[in-house]
Structure 1
Amino acid sequence: MVSSLGTGIEEFTAALRAGRSNVRPITVFDTTGFEHNNGCEVIGFEPERWIHNVDVDSLGRASRFSTAAARLAVADSGIDLDVLREARCLLSVGTTDGESHELDSMVSLEIAGGPEAMSPRLARRTSAGRLATSIAHELRLSNVEVGSIATACSAGNYAIGHSFDAIRLGEADFALCGGADAVCRKTFTSFYRLRSIAPDFCRPFDKNRLGILTGEGAGILMLESLESATARGARIYGEVLGYGLSCDAHHPVAPHQGGIARCMELALANAGVKPAEVDLISAHGTGTHANDKTEAAAIRELFGEDTPRVVSMKSMLGHSMGAASALAAIGCSVAITEGFIPPTINHVETDPECAVDCVPNVAVEADLRIVQNNGWAFGGNNSVVLIGRYDGPREVVA
């Protein structure tokens, strides 16, 4: 992963365990005129360290994140690139904004009368499809299906579900999937005008929460069959047990309790998991009044007395839009393998309307077997992925 908490699995895991956040004033676009401008940018990222076969200058900011994250995922998986190039591969990357950051740059240059406003070099960066195609070029994959999924802030989970189906149906041998987005003026301004940008920190489930902080980055996961992973001795972070998707189409921006509950039901049924078997829920948990209240109510409606701990990694990462549920899925996986629950930081007092144990401020050690990862989006695009612990060899069912 590439994130505001760090790049690579070691930095990311250490930050989650420590409850760190790198909130600071946004620098990637001009925030003049905004009363507050905090965000969760990726700082100190050097794409040339990981991107070798594609001209970095031809890539937009989000595509640089996704391509570097894919390189890191392949390296962490231990798979030989020659093997990957001979196999049937799927690349599925979810996004909210695509390369809107580059479009912002073009508009700014045009307004300023800059000579590069409509240059081919800058125009090439703007295609949202490059978030996935640049990975294929970088890894030199030819026997590959490539796609971008634009279901906004739930898109990372959509990409994982898409890849899960391709693997279990035998349509692909390996899948690199997840999400990527870059901080951009368009989305910051949109949330600001909705009065949904927090002035200082993101405080999910807190009585005095004031909204989101926009973030960025990319989370890419390597998926393969259990038979393939065990045959090559791969390190297994977790098993995708199943997923659920729903679109309630209730409101352009407001979450709907019934639609969220339905999506969780579908995911549990698809995974063959009972609510009481879920040890942790990684919530969408944006820190807005409407989301946290509605999500907590839907969770309580479905889980009742068996409601597990419910945490929001956005308290640390900010809201990285299309990358959000992918980064959270990685967080869920390392939580399982490392035996801890990441905290919900910046927490002072739980809102009575969000009556969940959000593991405030300090990580706790935990024996996790099954974790649920929630992702909601504008337009009622809902997605949930269930991830389970792999406990060793067993009979593989063809």
Structure 2
Amino acid sequence: MSRSDSVVVTGLGPVTAIGVGREKFAAAIRKGASGKRPITQFATDGYQYNHACEVTEVAALIRPSQDAGRAATFALTGALLALDEAGVTPSEVESNRVAVIIGTCDGEAAEADALARDGITNVNSGAARRFHQPLSQLVASELGWGRAVMADIGNACAAGNYAIGYSLDLIRCGVVDIAVCGGADALSRKLFSGFHRVGTIAPGEVKPFDRNRKGILTGEGAGMVVMERLEHAIALGVEPRVEVAGYGVNSDAGHPVAPDPIRISECIRAAHADAHLEPEQVSLISAHGTGTPLNDRVETKAIRMVFGNPPAVTAVKSMIGHSMGASAAIGAIASAVAMEDSFTPPTIGFSEADDDCDLPVVTNAMTAQAPSVVQNHGFGFGGVNSVLLLSKR
């Protein structure tokens, strides 16, 4: 499937509630691990529910040399893990030929929680500076890439795919040779309270596409990848992992939170066109799959509009929770791992089929099916849609 302008992924850096680093994450999604646990980041007195998918492997996190918050720590950890996998030494890279692009919903909103909790009004305080610092700027600074192309993309829960897609464009257009990109978000009281208030927190397990689905579990973490032109990777003696075949993005802008199946189906078709692929060539869909009644029904309808006979579908949020701006990027990493290791990750927590979600969902246990092309979804509030296509090398 390679073309002369091929862009490949050479490093994977997942930071999740079920594992930090490629090997731990891969082992966890193979066995269908759940990241659900009681919240420890803030007091949950007075809330009906107190569980989420927190990152607990603190010892595995790489601390920035600067004063930084939790989301930036996740992003830097993922970036360094991905660079190590790619065999890239940051100091040996020309910083005017690289990009650091990070998708996020809330950035360091957890630091804003701390400001409010501690009554801090001084905008020059350490906590205030952490709240306002762009994640991409901190990561680029830590890597010594002062002249890098840097951007934080705040396109809600589609942000991780947007960051990868933007990086793909930068590489295709010759602006940069290499990109460190993905998404990062940290669990915050603000985030949890908002979803709790509108009644979308699941009382138990997340159950995407299940008849008894009740909502999401908030999560956190990062999904960072290293992307390069194929020729650049080969020249450096780096083994490509998977190819970034193409992507599509669009917007509904019709309702603050309700997705539009027609616009999502158009986004899927745009991704197929960019990747020069036909629907029948897609062997696995890594769904947005939040586990909310509306989202899963609409996503099913959109898939059915494009695919006469849909391929297998999986939803990794059943394991890692909804990590917001990081979620689509982590889904992309799960897609890459599935292709490299020749398996299809499960959708855990599934117990009863729903006629409104009549998709071939891989339920509760992985299969030995080896996907060759994976379609990764990321949709967000405000009607932002993103679809990424990855193919096996």
Report SS of the residue matched to 1:328. Answer: helix
Report SS of the residue matched to 1:125. Answer: helix
2:136 maps to 1:132: yes
Q: Bigger shift: 120-129 or 145-154?
A: 120-129
Equivalent residue for 1:361, pick from 364, 369, 381: 364
2:137 maps to 1:96: no
2:336 maps to 1:333: yes
Letter in 2 for 1:277: Q
Equivalences for 1:106-185 in 2 at 5 Å?
A: 106-110=115-119, 120-127=125-132, 129=134, 131-185=135-189
RMSD: 1.4
Equivalent residue for 1:349, pick from 347, 352, 370: 352
What is aligned with 2:274?
270
Report SS of the residue matched to 1:365. Answer: coil
2:35 maps to 1:32: no
- Structure 1: distance between partners of 2:347 and 2:42: 28
2:298 maps to 1:289: no
Letter in 1 for 2:284: L
On the 8 A contact 2:19/2:57 being kept in 1, the answer is no
1:294-323 Cα shifts (integer Å, max 9, x gaps) = 001110111012x00111000001000000
Structure 1: state its 5+ residue gaps: 391-398
Runs of 4+ displaced beyond 3 Å: 115-119
- Structure 1: distance between partners of 2:344 and 2:363: 11
TM-score, normalization: structure 1? 0.93
- Structure 2: distance between partners of 1:248 and 1:259: 6
Letter in 2 for 1:88: R
On the 8 A contact 1:51/1:138 being kept in 2, the answer is no
- Structure 2: distance between partners of 1:161 and 1:270: 11
What is aligned with 1:319?
322
Report SS of the residue matched to 1:286. Answer: coil
- Structure 1: distance between partners of 2:118 and 2:89: 43
Report SS of the residue matched to 1:67. Answer: helix
Letter in 2 for 1:50: I
Q: Bigger shift: 17-26 or 283-292?
A: 17-26
On the 8 A contact 2:347/2:364 being kept in 1, the answer is yes
Letter in 1 for 2:111: E
Equivalences for 1:42-57 in 2 at 5 Å?
A: 42-46=55-59, 50-51=62-63, 54-55=65-66
On the 8 A contact 2:20/2:57 being kept in 1, the answer is no
What is aligned with 1:308?
311
What is aligned with 2:69?
60
TM-score, normalization: structure 2? 0.94
- Structure 2: distance between partners of 1:142 and 1:217: 25
Report how far residue 46 of structure 1 moved: 3.2
Report SS of the residue matched to 1:43. Answer: coil
Equivalent residue for 2:238, pick from 234, 240, 247: 234
On the 8 A contact 1:37/1:199 being kept in 2, the answer is no
- Structure 2: distance between partners of 1:257 and 1:371: 20
- Structure 2: distance between partners of 1:38 and 1:200: 9
- Structure 2: distance between partners of 1:199 and 1:287: 12
- Structure 1: distance between partners of 2:338 and 2:239: 15
Identity of aligned residues (%): 44
Letter in 2 for 1:44: E
Residue-pair matches, total: 380
Equivalent residue for 1:74, pick from 69, 74, 83: 83
Report how far residue 35 of structure 1 moved: 1.0
On the 8 A contact 1:204/1:292 being kept in 2, the answer is yes
Letter in 2 for 1:127: H
What is aligned with 1:41?
54
Report how far residue 121 of structure 1 moved: 1.3
Letter in 1 for 2:216: I
What is aligned with 1:370?
373
Report how far residue 128 of structure 1 moved: 5.0
- Structure 2: distance between partners of 1:241 and 1:260: 19
Report SS of the residue matched to 2:223. Answer: strand
Report how far residue 148 of structure 1 moved: 0.2
Structure 2: state its 5+ residue gaps: 1-13
On the 8 A contact 1:216/1:319 being kept in 2, the answer is yes
1:202-238 Cα shifts (integer Å, max 9, x gaps) = 0000000000000000111101001111222213221
- Structure 2: distance between partners of 1:18 and 1:143: 42
Letter in 2 for 1:109: D
2:211 maps to 1:199: no
On the 8 A contact 2:39/2:54 being kept in 1, the answer is yes
1:170-219 Cα shifts (integer Å, max 9, x gaps) = 00011000000000111111111221100111000000000000000011
Report how far residue 83 of structure 1 moved: 2.7
Report how far residue 159 of structure 1 moved: 0.2
- Structure 2: distance between partners of 1:78 and 1:99: 29
On the 8 A contact 2:91/2:144 being kept in 1, the answer is no
1:73-112 Cα shifts (integer Å, max 9, x gaps) = 11111123333245601110000111111101111111xx
1:9-62 Cα shifts (integer Å, max 9, x gaps) = 010000010100121111101111111121000003137x6346x23xx10110
Q: Bigger shift: 278-287 or 73-82?
A: 73-82
